[in-house]
Amino acid sequence: MAAASITRLQILSSLPSPIKIIKRSSAFLSKIPPIHNHYHHRSRKFHTTLCCSTSNPGRTLENGSIVGDLLDYLNESWTQFHATAEAKRQLIDAGFDLLNEHEEWELKPGGRYFFTRNMSCLVAFAIGEKYSVGNGFHVIAAHTDSPCLKLKPRSASSKSSYLMVNVQTYGGGLWHTWFDRDLSVAGRVIVRGSDGSFLHKLVKIKRPLLRIPTLAIHLDRTVNKDGFKPNLETHLIPLLATKSEEGSSEAKEKNTESSKAVHHPLLMQVLSDELSCSIDDIVSIELNVCDTQPSCLGGGNNEFIFSGRLDNLASSYCALRALIDSCESFSDLSNDTAVRMIALFDNEEVGSGSVQGAGAPTMFQAMKQIAGCLARNNVNEGAIERAIRRSFLVSADMAHGVHPNFMEKHEEHHRPEMQKGLVIKHNANQRYATSGVTAFLFKEVGKIHNLPSQEFVVRNDMGCGSTIGPILASGAGIRTVDCGIPQLSMHSVREICAKEDVDIAYKYFKAFYQNFSSIDKKLEVD
């Protein structure tokens, strides 16, 4: 379970000194109203709706906006494990029942359920009261992972009196953006319990712990002309600390043992202090290197969100909230004949080929199990196949907004802009799973609520990225549309999107759950 959400006081305390001065003024803080959520299931809490400017740190958002909650989610979710745990907490607060993949399920129409896998993949669903076996599943799928640095299995190293932490690159990150950042570690550990059992725990070291310094221009005079091209094996190694001078024989012996350690004893001590356990009780660690700067609002009108991991936690959170809010009341499901579902997968950034990735049959196995439970395991031949053919998948992953300084990188007639709505992605070579039919159906959802959309096609002389959409579409033959919120600086340690587009995406996804069945009935293709 994730730690409690960060309060304003906690966030303010981690920011530069001008804001710390504001923090000390209780009179000032008392004037900042909390942003209350508009539905009753979730616990009350303060929101980290921070502006990067120190002049207005407590600005609240318009009614109905989820941006403040998204900032909370981003600041909590330093890793895919934390993102899944926080989604789990919010689903439980909203009244969803936690299922176990290792046990038999007992489901009923009108019920709301979810399960996790590896604490980095999550599937949640709400069953329409009028659902019958063979009816479709309306799914929004996203991913919880982002490009980052991960500690190697043997991370301890030292050079020139520095303690270094060996890392491996995960995904296609813009690695030069990780230099000169205040970094730390977060992830999960396995801890030995007092009774001999082993416990899964999440850990996050919030203070700056690591740094990857760039080489001074005096020692690299041509860097601005030739470009910064670091060697990812030898130059991308974070500093942890300086070696202490050890003179006694006992200290030298301890230093010798440290040099043979898998991870630096100093790092292990930091982890054990955070977890309130003995170093010897930590039997396994799986840690990401993370930027410590909080997610916040920015721009002249506070119209932007500045954050790491927008790709793809922004999509994940919009999907999560859309599902929760679309069935806030049990009456919301009273006339629904479908199953509303979200699927949040890990390992998309490296191809999805894992047990917790979209390449695994997790989502389709869940569909089969749901249908079997509701039919009391008396499923007619072909019922599951019919259900999948009647289903629809929204593959939600961030999109490339047009960059004002590099407009030529976009196809002339497909340049998505910020604050202009969701981007529907097309690719004739099936790097995206959108078809003419699925794009039409999805745009019809938006038209009902006057929600804008845009379209993206990559230039013919450039390669095209991909998403989990084609993987899931081809895996079982489910109709799929690929879409996303436009952003800049994708795969940087610090990304940017427009807060208005976040709210549009949330409203679009919620409308999808509420209206897709009626729209789908009007179209016949085969």
- At 408-442, the pLDDT tens digits run 999 999 999 999 999 999 999 999 999 999 999 99
In this prediction, residue 260 carries a pLDDT of: 61
Residue 392: φ, ψ to 5°: -150, 135
SS (H, E, C) 99-119: CCCCCCCCCCCCCEEEEEECC
C-alpha to C-alpha distance for 467 and 209, rounded to whole angstroms: 33
The residue behind tokens 């660690």 is 285
Query: What is the percent of the chain where pLDDT is above 90?
Result: 80
More confident residue, 376 or 70: 70
Angstrom CA distances, 344 to 122, 195, 404, stand at 5, 34, 32
Cα–Cα distance for residue pair 88/116, rounded to 1 Å: 8
Cα angle for residues 37, 51, 317 (degrees, 5° grid): 45
Q: What is the pLDDT of residue 382?
A: 82
Question: Please, is 450 exposed, middle or buried when counting C-beta atoms within 10 Å of its C-beta (0-12, 13-18, 19+)?
Answer: exposed
Q: Given pLDDT bands bounded at 50, 70 and 90, which one contains residue 62?
A: low
d(CA 72, CA 61): 13
Across the chain, mean pLDDT equals 88
Q: What is the pLDDT of residue 243?
A: 86
pLDDT value of position 248: 42
Distance between CA 345 and CA 468 in Å, rounded?
9
> What is the reported pTM?
0.87
Please write the tens of the pLDDT for every residue from 247-280. Answer: 444 444 544 444 468 999 999 999 999 999 999 9
What is d(CA 235, CA 212) in angstroms, rounded to the nearest whole number? Answer: 8
- At what angle are helices 67-76 and 310-326 packed, to 10 degrees? 120
Asked whether the predicted pLDDT for residue 37 surpasses 90, the reply is no
Distance (Å, whole) CA 463 – CA 175:
20
CB half-sphere exposure, 506, CA atoms < 13 A: 20
Determine the Cα–Cα distance for residues 47 and 337; give it in Å rounded to an integer. Answer: 36
From the CB of residue 78, how many other CB atoms can be counted at a distance below 10 Å? 27
HEC string of 353-370 equals CCCCCCCCCHHHHHHHHH
Q: Residue 186 forms beta bridges with which residues?
A: 204, 288
CA–CA distance, 418 with 375 (Å, rounded to integer): 46
Query: Residue 149: its pLDDT value, please?
Result: 98
- Local confidence band at 5 (pLDDT 50, 70, 90 cut-offs): very low
Say which residues have a Cβ less than 8 Å from residue 328's Cβ, sequence separation at least 6. Answer: 39, 41, 94
Which amino acid is located at 325 in the chain? D
Rounded to whole angstroms, the Cα distance separating 373 from 251 reads 63
